[in-house]
Amino acid sequence: MRGRVVLGVSGGIAAFRAVEVLRGLIKAGCRVHTILTENATHFVAPRTFAVLSNEGAEVSLWSDPTSPGVDHVTLGRESDLLLVVPATANIIAKMAAGIADDALTTYALAHRRRVMIAPAMNTSMWRQPAIEQAVAALKQRGAIVVGPVFGFLAEGEIGEGKLAPVDEIVGAALAALPLRGPLAGVRVLITAGPTREPIDTVRVITNRSSGRMGVALALAARDLGAEVRLLAGPGVSAPSGVPMERFETAADLGRLLGRRAPEADAVWHAAAVADFRPTSVAAGKLDRRQGGLQLALQPVPDLAAAMPRVQGRPYLVIFAAERATDLEARAAKKMSEKAADAVVANPIDEPGLGMESARNRAVVLTRLGVRREFVAQDKEPLARELVLTLAGEIVANRRR
Ligand SMILES: Cc1cc2nc3c(=O)[nH]c(=O)nc-3n(C[C@H](O)[C@H](O)[C@H](O)COP(=O)(O)O)c2cc1C
């Protein structure tokens, strides 16, 4: 279990987004108990939260006449995070003032751990000194405030007050939870996406990698408790809540690896790094009118083989995209040539799998002799399986 969250939902128009936040938290392995304000039930039904979380979703302190009525105190001791989505102006002011006149605000007073709010309201309410002061007071007491952001508001205006994107709220919530899971406290560095090698000022040589597998690995490792850092190539969409640095060329990535790999316990090198780059880069824009063009290319140094490593750390996982026919033999050869600890082999010539597609199949081989095969599936569940498969070796390697 990734963590225990109490999701508070108050009565704003963005309340329906709290359902998506709940789903994101459940998917990441959290247990979520929901408490809604009476006003929130005008927008969303408690049953939706109860069914999706398979846990209680309450509105009132008094609904069960046989209950001793102190559940909020127990819950307050056990949960890691109180996350209020959306946080209305009203609940922000009440929480800041210590008012406890319904189930959610009473719970908020009993809660002992982290508090996070995602405010959403129109710009004039957000700019009210009373609300600004309440937000400042909550922050000063350690609450994390996610958003709001600038955008189209429910009343048709454009301004600041829109609920932060769901991914951002989920990412921030997961980052605020204590690290739990098989990779708790393990520092994982992941590379993802293509490189771009310049031909002239505007043109590049690149490849078809989307970075989706690397991003899926980053999220899977994070959900299993790891402290993740992502090195992402051009066009890779940034997952929120994961620290990320961008690279463009193989040389950029080499420099980032030189800096970050020694800090990591494991590196998953999923980026599709160029094998060749132009020998020289033309200044300006090459002109077609000058006629045909021959590009001279030189090999790019092998980044995996040159990975900075001290006493067997980091545990190095490489990826081998190879022909299906001799997939495993080639992957095993690559693993030993690059002194990697594990290789994830996947075919390049099976339709609908691999680069540019949402699905992949893989065989994992490790230096210690593990072999596991994964059938074709979406990259996200595959990433989780891959991380779970190697978690044991990664943790053991770290302790050596
Ligand atoms: C249609 C409608 C939409 C509303 N949207 C918001 C909102 O986005 N943010 C907000 O702070 N208040 C909003 N309100 C006002 C709150 O519902 C009202 O202040 C209420 O007392 C909040 O109660 P609660 O904080 O206990 O849920 C809205 C009211 C209505 C009728």
Q: In CATH, what number is assigned to the domain containing residue 392?
A: 3.40.50.10300
Q: How far apart are CA 214 and CA 230, in angstroms?
A: 8
Q: Which residues contact 394 (CB under 8 A, 6 or more apart)?
A: 183, 186, 188, 265, 266, 315
Cβ–ligand 1 distance for 89 under 6 Å, the answer yes
Q: Are residues 225 and 369 in the same domain?
A: yes
Question: What pLDDT does 348 receive?
Answer: 82
344 close to 320: Cβ distance less than 8 angstroms? yes
Q: What is the whole-number distance in angstroms between the Cα of residue 200 and the centre of ligand 1?
A: 55
- Would the CB of 46 count as within 6 Å of ligand 1? no
Nearest to 25 by CA among 59, 58, 2, 54: 2
Choose one of 116, 149, 176: the last residue of a domain. 176
Nearest CA to ligand 1 atom 11: 88
Please tell me whether residues 117 and 11 are part of one structural domain: yes
**Domain co-membership, 290 together with 394:** yes
CB 123 within 8 A of CB 161: yes
For 107, phi then psi, to 5°, come to -60, -45
Q: Report the SS3 class of residue 398.
A: helix
Q: Is 169 in the same domain as 214?
A: no
The answer to whether residue 17 sits within a structural domain is yes
Q: How high is the pLDDT of residue 69?
A: 57
CATH number at residue 164: 3.40.50.1950
Tens of pLDDT, residue by residue over 296-331, are: 999 999 999 888 888 878 999 999 988 888 999 999
Centre of ligand 1 from the C-alpha of residue 149, in Å? 18
Asked if 202 and 251 sit in the same domain, the reply is yes
User: 117, 152, 176 — which closes off a domain?
Assistant: 176
Q: Is 207 a catalytic residue?
A: yes
Residue 278, classed as helix, strand or coil, is strand
CA distance 314 to 188: 9
- Residue 362 falls inside a structural domain: yes
Beta carbon of 37 within 6 Å of any ligand 1 atom: yes
For residue 226 the two structure tokens come to 């790891």
- Test site for ligand 1: of 16, 36, 39, most ligand atoms within 8 A of the Cβ: 39
Is 181 inside a domain boundary? no
pLDDT in tens, 266-285: 999 999 999 999 999 999 99
Q: For residue 72, what pLDDT band results from cuts at 50, 70 and 90?
A: low
Q: Which of 90, 207, 346, 397 is catalytic?
A: 207
Query: Domain check: are 248 and 278 in the same one?
Result: yes
Whether the Cβ atoms of residue 228 and residue 218 lie closer than 8 Å to each other: yes
What's the pLDDT score for residue 152?
81
Q: Give the residue whose CA is nearest to atom 22 of ligand 1.
A: 11
How remote is the CA of residue 176 from the centroid of ligand 1, in Å?
A: 27
pLDDT, residue 67, reads 63
Do 289 and 165 lie in a common domain?
Answer: no
Q: Is the CB of 40 under 6 A from ligand 1?
A: yes
Three-class SS state of 302: coil
Q: Is residue 153 part of a domain?
A: yes
Q: Which residues, listed in sequence order, are joined to residue 299 by a DSSP beta bridge? A: 276
Q: Same domain, yes or no, for 251 and 341?
A: yes
Q: Is residue 241 part of a domain?
A: yes
Residue 72: domain span: 3-176
Q: What is the pLDDT of the chain when averaged over all its residues?
A: 91
Residue 182 domain-assigned? Answer: no
pLDDT tens by residue, 208-250: 999 999 999 999 998 888 999 999 999 998 887 789 999 999 9
Q: Determine, yes or no, domain membership for 310.
A: yes
Q: What is the token pair recorded at 201?
A: 């000022």
Residue 337 lies in a domain: yes
Same domain, 207 and 150: no
Three-class DSSP category at 312: coil
Statement to judge: residues 56 and 111 lie in one domain: yes
76-80, 291-295, 335-339: segment of lowest average pLDDT = 76-80
88 Cβ below 6 A of ligand 1: yes
CB 354 within 8 A of CB 382: no
Task: Calculate how far, in angstroms, residue 121's C-alpha sits from the geometric centre of ligand 1.
Answer: 8
The preferred substitution site among 13, 85, 162 for testing ligand 1, maximizing ligand atoms within 8 Å of CB, is 13
Q: Determine whether the shortest distance from the Cβ of 105 to ligand 1 is under 6 A.
A: no
d(CA 205, CA 203): 7
Residues 40 and 83 in one domain: yes
Question: Is the CB of 90 within 6 Å of ligand 1?
Answer: yes
Report the percent of the chain where pLDDT is more than 90: 73
- Is a pLDDT exceeding 90 seen at residue 84? yes
Query: If you measure from the C-alpha of residue 288 to the centroid of ligand 1, how many angstroms do you get, rounded to a whole number?
Result: 61
Domain-ending residue, one of 127, 153, 176:
176
Query: What is the number of domains present in the chain?
Result: 2
Residues for the chain: how many in total? 400
Residue 313 or 400, more confident = 313
Q: Are residues 170 and 248 in the same domain?
A: no
Q: Which residues contact 286 (CB under 8 A, 6 or more apart)?
A: 199, 200, 203, 293
